[in-house]
A and B are shown apart, each in its own frame.
Chain A
Amino acid sequence: MARIWTAPITYKYKQVMSAALSNEQLRDNLEYLKMKPRTYAPLALVTNDVLAATTTYQAVNDLNWAVSIATSEANEEVFVYFQCLISLSAGTPQALLLDVLVDNTNYLSSGTPTPITNGVGFFLFATTSATSWGFRKRLIIPTIGTHTFKLRARVAVTSCNVTFFTANAAGAEFGVQVE
């Protein structure tokens, strides 16, 4: 059972350790630390996700590429990761750029409503052949509560289709966890 984190108390002289306090401070906090909040979406679907990408960031597929997590204190450090086999339909040279929209407001790359040019990283495609690609990035979440993370993508040069190989258990995964 997932537990909620409660900030450890400062013990006073002759502190009475009630059952409620023991369960909160010891049992619940230990079990929370053992299994910190995490959500991941291993994508083994029937079909691939194909995005008609442009040079501005857009949703890949918010039904598949979105995860949420609950933070229990302000400024919680979380870890966002992504892995997928990807191909582009356009000619070369071309680059795929990825970012994550946090809580439908700010981008992972910049922490603001405007992503930085290259997002959280880009991959240069020399050809249209498929390539496995991913990123892992930490960020600080300033507020307590449930937070959502949605994958965003764009291409660098000319609009083209981007295929995310989510079919046939190709190892696609998008996740987030409290560090």
Chain B
Amino acid sequence: MTKLWNNPHQWDVGELNSHTKMQAVSDALEWIKDRPYDNKLVTNQGSSLTQVVTGAGNWFALSDALFTLNISTAVANERIRFDFMGIWSTTAAIANAFYWDILVDDTNYASSGTPTSSGVGLAQLVSVVAANVLQPFNVFAHYVVPTAGLHTFKLRVAGTTAQTITWYCSNANQILRLDGLDI
């Protein structure tokens, strides 16, 4: 179990140690060994996840039941690294992208506080391919959490144009994964 981080004690000259000070050292060591982390791995669902998107800047929850991370930050301005990876396709041919963002504590977006049209980044831009061609994606983004405490991080997606996007997770060969790690 990850311990809560407490800043290690600052010793003054002549100060004696106590079990509480040394316990904080012990807890800090455990925190470092097992950093706050959460991930969601979605596979073998029977059917894949689809979402009708309506253009850049219009954000959708792919599935809050499947893609909500809970991470507790110890102090202000901890940095979280998010990794999102899987396979997708779109019904719209040629040069389409899906964007992703993270909704923090149901209030602010990781991209900017308020969402930008591109979110925290592009997951992939389809090259000159026909519609419904499967494309792998593997993207990451960093976010500095301004406050300490337990935070929720929910995946949000958007698309460049109106289209239906599929994120594949219907069988055991198809894995969608969202990771968050306090680094």
Contact = CB atoms under 8 A, between A and B. Distances in A.
A80 B128 CA distance: 31
A127 B28 CA distance: 51
A38 B79 CA distance: 11
Interface stretch (B10-18, B47-55, B165-173): B10-18
A40 B127 CA distance: 28
Candidate in A17, A81, A130 with the most chain B CB atoms within 10 angstroms:
A130
B11 A23 contact: yes
A27 interface: yes
Interface stretch (B61-69, B133-141, B146-154): B133-141
Contacts of A157: none
Nearest to A17: B17
Nearest to B5: A34
B125 A34 contact: no
B158 interface: no
Given A22-B17, A83-B139, A83-B140, A171 B183 contact: no
B122 A170 contact: yes
A177 B125 contact: no
B142 A26 contact: no
B125 A132 contact: yes
B183 A177 contact: yes
Contact of B8 (A17, A30, A129, A131): A30
A19 interface: yes
A116 to B, nearest CB: 23
B118 A168 contact: yes
Interface in A78-95: 81, 83, 85
B127 A19 contact: no
Contacts of B122: 85, 132, 165, 170-171
A121 interface: no
A138 to B, nearest CB: 15
B14 A19 contact: yes
A83 B100 CA distance: 15
B123 interface: yes
Candidate in A31, A34, A177 with the most chain B CB atoms within 10 angstroms:
A34
A130 B17 contact: no
Contacts of B127: 126-127, 129-131
Given A40-B142, A169-B116, A30 B28 contact: yes
A42 B118 CA distance: 14
B86 to A, nearest CB: 14
Interface of B: 5, 7-15, 17, 25, 28-29, 31-32, 79, 94-95, 111-112, 116-128, 137, 139-142, 183
